[in-house]
């Protein structure tokens, strides 16, 4: 119990000194946490505001008479690779941007990304998606040009074979030799078969070109929107960090002040004892 009594005596002796030391710096102990909290709030002007947004676009499709089922304008693996490369290339224009996720569900592509500020995030996602959309739609335009050239060639061949069949039919009407007539009939049948095949392909092209189910461009179906923003928690987080730093500084200053007060008092008593 002697140790406890000595401890209580030392605490009782030091408490008034510590209290007086804290009273001497009471304004400092109050002002420092407030200043640090305000500095934390003001730091938002130089810290990065993070926002997460998404954009959705639908893959275009293309079909041909020999491939009547619609085919996407882009494969999934190539699509992902291009989007990642485009995201890397755009970091010069959008320094704090990053693509976070690519989700492909059927013919719908969802791209999630982040940048600084709501507007910049939306602009970044729109520009990122537009590069892929332009790539795919340019591919569709090229396919349509090839298709148009193919249709023009088919129409020329159709007219050529029709003319050829009419000529053979006229010759068949005038022929008397059975062998010649047989040869002419085979030529007429061959021309008719070619005409039928060409006409069937042209009809298929006509159906494909008039149906959005088979030929469709890639387009945005959900414009860029913000799904998560740091606007609401950044002031709380910055203020709390500033307040925490201020309280730590206050605790450190108070501890130093108490130690110095007790040491000074003890040193003063030692000097008085030596004089006496």
Q: Given this model, what pLDDT does residue 210 score?
A: 75
Model pLDDT, residue 111: 96
Token code pair at residue 48: 């990065």
pLDDT number for residue 11: 43
Measured distance CA(71)–CA(62) in Å, rounded: 5
For helices 26-42 and 234-275, what crossing angle results, to 10°?
150
| Helix, strand, coil fractions of the chain, as percent rounded to 5 | 70, 15, 15
Q: 3: pLDDT confidence band, cut at 50, 70 and 90?
A: very low
What's the whole-model pTM score? 0.62
Q: Measuring CA to CA, which residue among 79, 125, 68 is closest to residue 99?
A: 125
Condensed to tens digits (0 to 9), the pLDDT of residues 262-271 reads 666 555 555 5
pLDDT score for 147 = 85
pLDDT of 10 reads 46
Of the candidates 131, 132, 101, 129, the residue with the CA atom closest to the CA atom of residue 114? 101
Q: What is the pLDDT of residues 85-138, one digit of tens each?
A: 999 999 889 988 889 999 999 889 999 999 888 888 999 999 999 999 999 999
Averaged pLDDT of the chain: 78
């Amino acid at each position: 119990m002697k140790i406890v009594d000595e401890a209580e005596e030392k605490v009782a002796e030091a408490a008034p000194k510590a209290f007086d030391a804290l009273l001497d710096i009471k304004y400092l102990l109050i002002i420092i946490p407030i200043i640090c909290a305000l500095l934390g709030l003001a730091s938002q002007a130089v810290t990065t505001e993070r926002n997460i947004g998404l954009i959705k676009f639908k893959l275009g499709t293309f079909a041909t008479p020999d491939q009547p089922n619609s085919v996407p304008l882009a494969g999934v693996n190539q699509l992902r690779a291009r989007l990642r490369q485009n995201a890397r290339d755009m970091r010069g224009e959008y320094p704090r941007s990053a693509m976070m996720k690519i989700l492909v569900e059927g013919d719908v592509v969802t791209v999630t990304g982040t940048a600084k500020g709501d507007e910049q995030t939306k602009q970044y996602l729109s520009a990122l998606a537009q590069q892929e959309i332009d790539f795919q739609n340019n591919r569709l335009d090229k396919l349509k040009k090839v298709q148009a050239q193919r249709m023009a060639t088919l129409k020329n061949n159709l007219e050529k074979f029709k003319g050829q069949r009419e000529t053979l039919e006229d010759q068949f009407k005038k022929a008397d030799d059975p062998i010649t007539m047989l040869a002419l009939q085979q030529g007429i049948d061959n021309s008719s078969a070619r005409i039928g095949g060409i006409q069937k392909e042209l009809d298929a092209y006509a159906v494909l070109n008039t149906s959005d189910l088979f030929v469709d461009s890639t387009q945005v179906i959900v414009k860029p929107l913000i799904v998560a923003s740091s606007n609401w928690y950044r002031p709380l987080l910055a203020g709390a960090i500033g307040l925490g730093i201020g309280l730590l500084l206050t605790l450190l200053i108070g501890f130093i002040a108490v130690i110095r007060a007790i040491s000074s008092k003890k040193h003063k008593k030692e000097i008085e004892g030596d004089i006496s």
